[in-house]
Amino acid sequence: MVVGATVGQLREAIEGDRWAELAAAGLEVVEVKELGGLDEQLLEKSRQTIEAAELKVWSVHAPFGDQLDLSSPDRTIRSAAVTACREAAIRLHRLGGSVVVLHSSRLYATTSENADDRLPRMRESLERIVDEAAPLGVKAAVENLECGALGRSADELEAVLEGFDAAHTGVCLDTGHAFLQPAQGAQLVRQIAPRVITTHFHDNNGKRDEHLLPGEGSVDWDGVLEALNTDVYCGPIIFELFREDGFYERQVPKMLRIAQTHLSKREDASSVDGLK
């Protein structure tokens, strides 16, 4: 099993020996964030530093937010989001990466909008991103999101991706988001598992998107690992953790221990035990 982690903005990450420290701690791949504003020189310098550390950039989390919303009713906002995601795919390609992770919308739960209105706009945006990314060999992964955003359910994700070539598109399974609706989490994972092409592994207690280490919350890891067995997904397990307690790299040994002692059991789904 290949284990990776999200490491934030590349501009911050290339300062110091962070890449070498992550690799020394045992990570094999990383997901970087955004990649906006990096010129060719910085990209090339980053590529060389990452390669020298024997790490691989696997994915980029494309930018998102109120002003970068792929299914916004506002054409200008939508267009800016598409451009930013296309640029993220191009820059990722320069770094040797394979997957651009997309949010289908911002949270719109407090407005009168609904998923039906947003769906066709997201599909149009996705088409424009795939047009740019696919020829580069970069796949577009639509992430399952929290309640109140497009992509919160398996049905919505399937509707977004319907008709798109599975060679160029798929789902980023975010385990934390899936279990913010605890009763439906395992079912959602089972349903989307065949289309998963990348992952965000983290835990929570079913109320807030806490981004804890697997085992620290109430996510049904047996259910996740059973659904995401190696018959359906062989890509990297990417940890997406938020830590307020200092140096992020300190978490890497914990991630690897969890991956080795628990997550590797998905190879034999019938013997999966709980993580706690």
Q: Do residues 134 and 127 touch, judged by C-beta distance below 8 A?
A: no
Count of alpha carbons within 13 angstroms of residue 15, beta-carbon side: 4
Q: Tell me how far the alpha carbon of residue 41 is from its chain's centroid.
A: 26
Q: What is the token pair recorded at 229?
A: 């067995």
Q: Is 69 a binder of Zn ion (CB under 5 A)? A: no
Query: Hunting for tokens 């992550």 — which residue is that?
Result: 22
CB of 67 to Zn ion, least distance (A): 20
SS3 5: strand
Distance CA 172, CA 196 (A): 6
CB of 144 to Zn ion, least distance (A): 8
CB of 143 to Zn ion, least distance (A): 5
Q: Is 262 a binder of Zn ion (CB under 5 A)? A: no
Q: Is 33 a binder of Zn ion (CB under 5 A)? A: no
Q: By C-beta, is 46 or 199 nearer to Zn ion?
A: 199
CB of 7 to Zn ion, least distance (A): 14
Q: By C-beta, is 46 or 204 nearer to Zn ion?
A: 204
Distance CA 261, CA 276 (A): 11
Q: Is 87 a binder of Zn ion (CB under 5 A)? A: no
Site string for Zn ion, 181-220 (x = CB under 5 A): -------------------x--------------------
Tell me the β-bridge partners of 9.
33
Site string for Zn ion, 141-180 (x = CB under 5 A): ---------------------------------x------
Q: Tell me how far the alpha carbon of residue 80 is from its chain's centroid.
A: 21
Residues that bind Zn ion (CB under 5 A): 174, 200, 240
